[in-house]
């Protein structure tokens, strides 16, 4: 990999920590027993699996028996929603989700709707916060599940999960939250926050890809979706991926051990990036801002650059060695605008002009300053070629491009 790369797509995935990788290599090479085997290597593996489960459970105030390992957040979301829908189908057929859920929640809800379930979406405001009044109005006697994302993967909005969970508990309805972006960045207490089911994973926090978990509160029942062995408390058959699970536990432990220090440093970098980019004319910071900034993920910056395409910005920055994302990471190869951005009121052309920057503990002030410089130049160049710029702004927006080309010619 090019050492000069500036990686600002940590909301998509993160670099694995060296100590996490070293630990995983040990399990691949030496401690490779199957946890169900009865010989010494298998018994050791089973003990390690139990310890990893306990470590991960401890980070969110859960019990070890409440943690089910999966292949990642997508599987966990599917397991939670499908599992509840199947188990409680004789009790009710109504599910409530927010309008800014990840596709692995939204698509499952749509499929269930096509199969006869009733699905309602709760609206959000212009900063992405759930409309609590709208949520309360959606409950029916047939409601069996509410699923609201803990912190949004695109615009960084952190929901009031404790309040939402309390409402669901009072209504006697199960509450699921997708915490894939929040885990390792925010303090989570599943008991205090009245969470019944919670999705999370490792690779957003410098752990391995392909491993995640579903928290299932003791007493909550799900329909088993796959047949096979009795692994994972008879809910998810198949041999556990022990090296990845051990890496998951190590990365989770590290994230929460250094949470405050890392967040303080990352927020400083995030705010430096916001300050630099908001000096560019005709931009909009999406998600929480101003007095709401405390309810924004520490590492998230999402900006709409008006009059130009986000994909063009992304490609120009990539050529300069800067990695960012356009729209949501899982839909960035489609022509459809982000449903998250349209849900908060952006028009289609505005949604298409949005770029997400997501930081990590490995970023530096120099990288942030270099990013601000390059984004400013790229936006100027693209706007100078854009046919979408209103006539009253054309001269102002062309100046950045002229300056850039002048500097380049002088360098040549």
Which of 239, 168, 228, 160 shows the shortest CA–CA distance to 197? 168
Dist. CA 26–CA 20, nearest whole Å = 10
The active-site residue, picked from 37, 330, 331, 349, is 330
Measured between its terminal Cα atoms, the distance across the chain in Å is 28
| Cα–Cα distances in angstroms (integers) from residue 143 to residues 365, 376, 400, in the given order | 48, 49, 54
The strand pair at 354-358 and 300-305 is best described as: antiparallel
330 is catalytic: yes
Which of 343, 336, 341, 342 shows the shortest CA–CA distance to 99? 343
Dist. CA 361–CA 263, nearest whole Å = 8
Dist. CA 127–CA 124, nearest whole Å = 8
CB 196 within 8 A of CB 188: no
The number of residues making up the chain comes to: 412
Please give the angle made by the CA atoms of 181, 186 and 187, to the nearest 5 degrees: 135
* DSSP character at residue 210: S
Q: Give the strand order in the sheet containing 354-358.
A: 283-286, 300-305, 354-358, 325-326
The residues carrying an active-site annotation are 330
């Amino acid at each position: 990999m090019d050492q000069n790369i500036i990686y600002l797509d940590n909301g998509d995935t993160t670099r694995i920590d060296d100590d996490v990788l070293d630990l995983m290599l040990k399990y691949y090479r030496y401690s490779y027993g199957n946890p169900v085997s009865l010989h010494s290597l298998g018994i050791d593996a089973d003990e390690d699996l139990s310890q990893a489960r306990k470590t991960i459970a401890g980070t969110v105030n859960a019990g070890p028996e409440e943690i089910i390992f999966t292949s990642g957040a997508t599987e966990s979301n599917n397991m939670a929603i499908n599992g509840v829908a199947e188990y409680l189908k004789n009790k009710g057929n109504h599910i409530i989700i927010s309008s800014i859920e990840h596709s692995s929640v939204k698509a499952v809800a749509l499929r269930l709707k096509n199969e006869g379930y009733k699905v309602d979406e709760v609206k959000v405001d212009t900063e992405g916060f759930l409309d609590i009044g709208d949520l309360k109005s959606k409950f029916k006697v047939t409601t069996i599940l509410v699923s609201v994302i803990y912190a949004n993967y695109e615009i960084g909005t952190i929901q009031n999960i404790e309040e939402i969970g309390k409402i669901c508990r009072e209504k006697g309805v199960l509450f699921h939250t997708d915490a894939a972006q929040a885990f390792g960045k925010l303090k989570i207490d599943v008991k205090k926050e009245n969470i019944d089911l919670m999705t999370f994973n490792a690779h957003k926090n410098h752990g391995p890809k392909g491993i995640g978990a579903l928290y299932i509160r003791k007493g909550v029942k799900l329909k088993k979706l796959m047949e096979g062995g009795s692994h994972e408390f008879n809910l998810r058959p198949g041999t556990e991926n022990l090296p990845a699970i051990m890496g998951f536990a190590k990365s989770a432990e590290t994230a929460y051990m250094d949470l405050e220090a890392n967040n303080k440093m990352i927020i400083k970098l995030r705010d430096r990036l916001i300050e630099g980019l908001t000096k560019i004319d005709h931009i909009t910071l999406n998600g929480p801002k101003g007095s709401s900034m405390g309810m924004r993920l520490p590492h998230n910056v999402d900006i709409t650059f008006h009059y130009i395409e986000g994909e063009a910005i992304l490609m120009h920055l990539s050529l300069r060695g800067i990695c960012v994302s356009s729209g949501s990471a899982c839909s960035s190869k489609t022509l459809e605008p982000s449903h998250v951005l349209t849900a908060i009121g952006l028009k289609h052309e505005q949604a298409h002009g949005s770029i997400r920057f997501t930081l990590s503990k490995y970023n530096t002030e120099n990288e942030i300053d270099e990013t601000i410089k390059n984004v400013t130049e790229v936006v100027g160049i693209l706007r100078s070629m854009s046919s979408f710029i209103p006539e009253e702004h054309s001269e102002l927006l062309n100046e950045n491009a002229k300056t850039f080309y002048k500097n380049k010619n002088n360098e040549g």
